[in-house]
Structures are given as C-alpha cells and as structure tokens.
Amino acid sequence: MPAPGAVLVLNAGSSSIKFGLFDISASEPALLCKGQLDEHEAKPRLVVKSPKGEDLFEQQRTEADADGDHLLAAVLSFSERQFGDHSLRAVGHRIVHGGPDYSAPVELTLDVHAKLEALTPLAPLHQPRCLAPVRTIRAIRPALIQIACFDTAFHHGLVPPVSRFAIPRRYEQSGIRRYGFHGLSFEYVAGRLVQIAPERAAKRTIIAHLGNGASLCALRDGRSVDTTMGLTPLDGLVMGTRCGTIDPGVLLYLLEHETMSAEELQRLLYHESGLLGVSGISADMRTLLASSEAAAREAVDLFTFRAAQAIAMMATTLGGLDGLVFTGGIGEHAGEIRSGIGERLAWLGVRIDAAANDAARERINAGDSAVDVFVIPTNEELTIARHCAAMLRSARVS
C-alpha cells in the first residue's frame, strides 16, 4: 500500500546542507521542492527551488541564528505552508557514519541518536553536522518521525581482506576496520546503471563519486566489494580539504617533531589539506580549473593522478574493468578531470570520446573503448526518500 503524504530529506555534506521535499504517495517518491542551506557563503542563506529550478523562497540567516536552527524551522514551515495537502510523515537524514551496527535505515530514537553521536570521532567533519538538525527538529516537532539513512550501509558486506587493516587483530574486534562512505550516492548510481545499461549490471564496474568529499566504489553484481574510504571519510582520494591516503609515518612525525596536538592534526588533515592545501588557493575545483597559477595546476594534477591510481587499485579487486561511472559535483561537471583520468587509464583500455565528454552525455566512451564510461548525476536525496517511504509503508517506525 502506498503511504500518502510527504517526507523531508536532509543531506548534510561537508560543504553544504541540501534538502528535498518528496511526495511519497506513489511507489516512486516525487520531488516537490529542493534547496540548500549554504553556510560557506559570506551571508548564509536558505534557498528553495521548484523541481525545475525556479526560485520559490529565500531567507538569510540572521546574526541571532548562529547554528542555523531558524533556517531549518523555516524549511519545515515553508513545506507545511506550501504543500499542506501533503502531510509531513517523516524527516529522512543522511547520516555519514553508521558504525558496525547499522546496515539499513533506522528510526532515530533517542537511543539510536546517542549511539550515532558516539561515532563522532570516526567522522568529525560530518557526524555533528548530520545530527544537529535531528536535535533541532525533535525540539520543534517532537512527534515527527525521523529516520537515519547511512553512508556506510551500502558497504556493509565488505569482508577481509578488503575490510582489514594490517594492525593487531584485537583492534578489528573493537570496530577498527574499513567501512566506506558515499553509500547513498553509490546505491542511487548503481540503480540508474541497471536502468541505463542492464547488460552492464553484472559486470565489473567502478563508480567515482568526485565531490567535495570523494571516493570510489568497486561494484560486482550491483554490490560494493571495495571502496577507497576506510574507518573515516579521510582515506583514499585527494579531496577538497582532506588529504586522502597518506603515509601514517607523516602523522607520527607531525605529532612528535612538530609537537602538534591531536586536535591540530585533525584540523590539518580534514580542513587544511587536499586541493586547498596543495594549491594554497581554493578547495573548489571550479576555481582551480579557472586559475592560471602553477600551484592550482599541480593540485588538479595530483587529484587526477591519485583518482586514476585508485581506479587501477579497485580494478585489481574486481579482476578487471568493464564500466566506469563519474558522479558528484566534479564527476558530473568537470570534463577536464574526466578526460585527465581517462588518459591515465588508457592502458586499461579506457577511451573517452571528446565530444561526448564535453557535452557530459550519459555515455562518454569512444567506440573502441574496452570500458564503458558513463556520467550519471547522483541523487542521494531520492535514495533517502525511497528508504523512508519503504519504512513508512512497512510500518517499521513507531
């Protein structure tokens, strides 16, 4: 039975909070409006748009609203005012870390909330940003059901050796293992790939989610068998402000010889490294691609090199490569990055068609490519809406 009404979806990423309001009365959720709470602009503001991108509503954050709570309340009351005939059934949240316990969406009870809060050290950049709106909404709409959908859940089936670190085994028993992230994006893209190229569904595919955070997922039979992020969303590729894979000896050196505190080191690795740290100019790929500075070119080159290197590593897990998919802000929009990665993977048989790539078509491989290459815009919000609708339908909520 379809569940009538709507769900509000909040997607708190490292550089923005995106949201979407979905009508869930049909079997596939339909977007009613979407928007962004932009905190990194000089004047933080809330922008709400129609599914076609027309402006519906805008509100600046005031001085008094340091934590953005009023903007969140404004999203709720706008949703209720504008779409009052779709009663709000639940709020679905992207929660970055689900730890070892959560392999599927779960209702955000106080007990679950406390368990997720305890995972903050494993995703210090994200977990507090994901959980803050849960608390705010509980305070202003205590009866509203809230549901957590996890970035880690799609990778829950990872097994050794992929999930294992080469440290003494007792640490693995206490949960120190590779989890992987961006799972809601990978789940959406894997689903789209089945629709676009059903013959590809069972093949060896790598999805490159290249956004402000970036990671790869190796897919076999539509399931994650490897990914570049680990215990935390710090591992793997070069990111906007995160370093990705690094010799752990560097960290020991900084702690001991530069007498850095753990807190300073965390700041360095999460906020001051990656594209920003290497370029000294910006964490934003658009700015770097437009810059003529040598340091900007070098940061872009490191990003491309490391992405290609990691794709080859994922291909080893898969025992070859049949499909490569680009998604995320950079993967969807930066043709220069896609072609740069493709050139470095020519030895694997990757050939990208320049015209298709410039136009960001759905399929961008050349006719003689041994690997099918796709650009598939991600939709984490829709994945969350689907999970919420399924939970409400099956009455897996109180």
Ligand X SMILES: Nc1ncnc2c1ncn2[C@@H]1O[C@H](COP(=O)(O)OP(=O)(O)O)[C@@H](O)[C@H]1O
Q: Name the segment binding ligand UVW (CB under 6 A); options: 36-44, 67-75, 188-196, 211-219.
A: 211-219
Q: Is 209 annotated as a binding residue?
A: yes
β partners of residue 208: 216, 326
**Shortest spacing between CB 240 and ligand UVW, in angstroms:** 8
> In the chain, what are the helix, strand and coil shares in percent, each to the nearest 5?
40, 20, 40
Is 85 in the active site?
no
By the 10 Å C-beta count (0-12 exposed, 13-18 middle, 19+ buried), 303 is classed as buried
Q: Which residue, 61 or 333, is less far from ligand X as judged by CB? A: 333
Q: Are 133 and 12 in contact (CB under 8 A)?
A: yes
From 69, 85, 101, 151, active-site residue: 151
The interface with ligand X within residues 320-379 (CB under 6 A) comprises 328-330, 333-334
What residue number has its CB nearest to ligand X? Answer: 329
CB of 325 to Mg ion, least distance (A): 16
336 is annotated as contributing to ligand binding: no
Q: Which positions from 285 through 304 interact with ligand X, judged by CB under 6 A?
A: 285-286, 289
Residue 379 annotated as binding site: no
Rounded to a whole number of angstroms, the minimum distance from the CB of residue 183 to ligand X is 14
What would the x/- binding string for ligand UVW be over residues 128 to 157, using CB under 6 A? -----------------------x------
Is 211 an interacting residue with respect to ligand X (CB under 6 A)? yes
**Measured at the alpha carbon of residue 136, what is the angle toward residues 79 and 99, in degrees to the nearest 5?**
110
Contact 277, 309 (CB under 8 A): no
Question: Within 240-279, which residues bind ligand X (CB under 6 A)?
Answer: 240
Do the Cβ atoms of 148 and 105 come closer than 8 Å?
yes
Strand blocks (E) in 27-164: 30-38, 45-49, 55-60, 88-95, 106-107, 145-150
Is residue 357 marked as binding? no
Residue nearer to ligand X on the CB measure, 72 or 112: 72
Binding to ligand UVW by residue 212, rule CB under 6 A?
Answer: yes
Q: For 150-180, give the DSSP string.
A: ESSGGGTT--TTTT--SS-HHHHHTT-S---
333 touches which of ligand X, Mg ion, ligand UVW, none (CB within 5 to 8 A by kind)?
A: ligand X
* CA-based radius of gyration for the chain: 21
H or E element in which residue 22 lies: strand 17-23
> Inter-axis angle of helices 110-117 and 127-140, to 10 degrees?
160
Residue type, 140: I
Residue 134 Cβ, how far from Mg ion at the closest point, in Å?
18
Q: Does the annotation place 211 within a ligand binding site?
A: yes
Q: How far apart are the first and last CA of the chain?
A: 18
What DSSP assignment string belongs to 323-350?
A: EEEEEHHHHHH-HHHHHHHHHHTGGGT-
Out of 78, 154, 181, 270, point to the residue binding ligand UVW (CB under 6 A): 181
Question: Of ligand X, ligand UVW, Mg ion, none, which one does residue 133 interact with (CB within 5 to 8 Å by kind)?
Answer: none
The position carrying tokens 């013959």 is 199
Chain positions 65 to 124 lying near ligand X, rule: CB under 6 A, are none
We find the least distance from the C-beta atom of residue 370 to ligand X, in angstroms, to be 27
- Cα–Cα distance for residue pair 4/183, rounded to 1 Å: 27
Query: Which residue lies nearer to ligand X by CB, 24 or 288?
Result: 288
Q: Which is nearer to ligand X, 286 or 396 (CB)?
A: 286
Query: Which of residues 3, 16, 91, 310 is near ligand X by CB under 6 A?
Result: 16
**Range 351-380, binding ligand UVW (CB under 6 A):** none
Q: In what order do the strands lie in the sheet with 323-327?
A: 223-227, 214-220, 205-210, 323-327, 372-375
| Residue selected from 5, 13, 124, 240 as contacting Mg ion according to rule CB under 5 A | 13
Under the binding rule (CB under 6 A), the answer on residue 129 touching ligand X is: no
Residue where the block lists tokens 């859940």: 153
In the complex, which residues of this chain contact ligand UVW (CB under 6 A)?
13-14, 96, 126, 151, 181-182, 211-213, 233
Catalytic (active-site) positions:
151
Query: Per the annotation, where are the binding residues for Mg(2+)?
Result: 11, 380
In the complex, which residues of this chain contact Mg ion (CB under 5 A)?
13, 211
In the complex, which residues of this chain contact ligand X (CB under 6 A)?
13-16, 211-213, 240, 284-286, 289, 328-330, 333-334
